[in-house]
């Protein structure tokens, strides 16, 4: 039996279809979830996809964080549900305080879409088990508000507890503190990152297939569990 991976559609979610496709390619059963529901449909893991939920008008992720389904997701994530936030989803996780810090406007003030090289810093999370420590991967990055910031104490703590999951290499595209591209919570079940692994699952349409590992990782961890 394969695992059920939910992907939430908020108003303004854009990469929800891509995330569902990535789950399918990785071998999981993709389950669309609706922001207005209180029902997680018995999913084994959940992805908060990229996009501009609620137009990002107040602050990226700030309104989506109050969507009905987030009540369930916040509780379930705290209880260990594997949860991945990509781009806007990462912003929602920070706004929900499932992850520390915040994402602000890129240093250059422009929206930037590039094939980004990352270094894998933590393979102990539920979403990175199939990657190797120090591995370099290339996945697309595209955002206007991707600069990760937090106070020094938080950053130090993230480093000391090995919670930096991905770091930008060969250039920091948005001014993120300590080149941070993705982080996780203490348990390692909640991961957020700005780049888009769901856009690197097929050689035809992506810069490669490095992103697939995140989806395969969670499926394997669920089978093992």
Dihedral over alpha carbons 28, 136, 203, 184 (to 10 degrees): 30
Q: Which of residues 28-47 bind another protein (CB under 8 A)?
A: 36
The answer to the question of residue 196 lying near another protein (CB under 8 A) is: yes
Per DSSP, 13 falls in state B
Which is catalytic among the residues 94, 95, 198, 199?
A: 198
> H or E segment at 181?
strand 180-184
Closest CA to 173 of 137, 205, 148: 148
Site map 129..148 versus another protein, x via CB under 8 A: -----------x-x-x----
Q: Compute φ and ψ for 68, nearest 5 degrees.
A: -50, -45
Q: Is-catalytic flag, 87? A: yes
Residue 217 CA, chain-centre distance (Å), reads 13
> Exactly one of 75, 110, 151, 170 binds another protein (CB under 8 A); which one?
110
> Exactly one of 27, 32, 55, 68 binds another protein (CB under 8 A); which one?
55
Indicate which residues carry an active-site annotation.
87, 196, 198
Contacts with another protein, residue ranges (CB under 8 A): 11-12, 14-15, 17-18, 21, 36, 50-52, 54-57, 110-114, 140, 142, 144, 196, 198-199, 202, 204-206
């Amino acid at each position: 039996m394969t695992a059920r991976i939910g992907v939430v559609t908020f108003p303004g979610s854009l990469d929800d279809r891509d995330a569902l496709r990535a789950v399918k390619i990785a071998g999981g059963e993709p389950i669309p979830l609706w922001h207005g529901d209180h029902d997680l449909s018995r999913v084994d893991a959940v992805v908060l996809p990229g996009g501009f939920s609620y137009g990002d008008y107040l602050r990226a992720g700030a309104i989506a964080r109050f969507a009905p389904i987030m009540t369930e997701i916040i509780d379930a994530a705290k209880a260990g549900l594997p949860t991945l936030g990509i781009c806007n989803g990462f912003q929602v996780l920070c706004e929900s305080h499932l992850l520390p810090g915040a994402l602000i406007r890129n240093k250059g003030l422009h929206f930037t879409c590039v094939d980004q090289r990352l270094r894998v810093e933590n393979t102990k999370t539920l979403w990175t088990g199939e990657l190797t420590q120090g591995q370099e991967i290339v996945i697309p990055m595209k955002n206007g508000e991707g600069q990760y910031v937090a106070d020094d104490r938080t950053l130090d703590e993230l480093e000391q507890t090995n919670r930096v999951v991905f770091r930008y290499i060969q250039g920091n595209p948005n001014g993120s503190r300590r080149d941070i591209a993705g982080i996780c919570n203490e348990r390692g079940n909640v991961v957020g990152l700005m780049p888009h692994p769901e856009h690197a699952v097929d050689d035809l349409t992506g810069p490669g297939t490095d992103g697939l590992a995140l989806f395969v990782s969670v499926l394997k961890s669920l089978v093992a569990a």
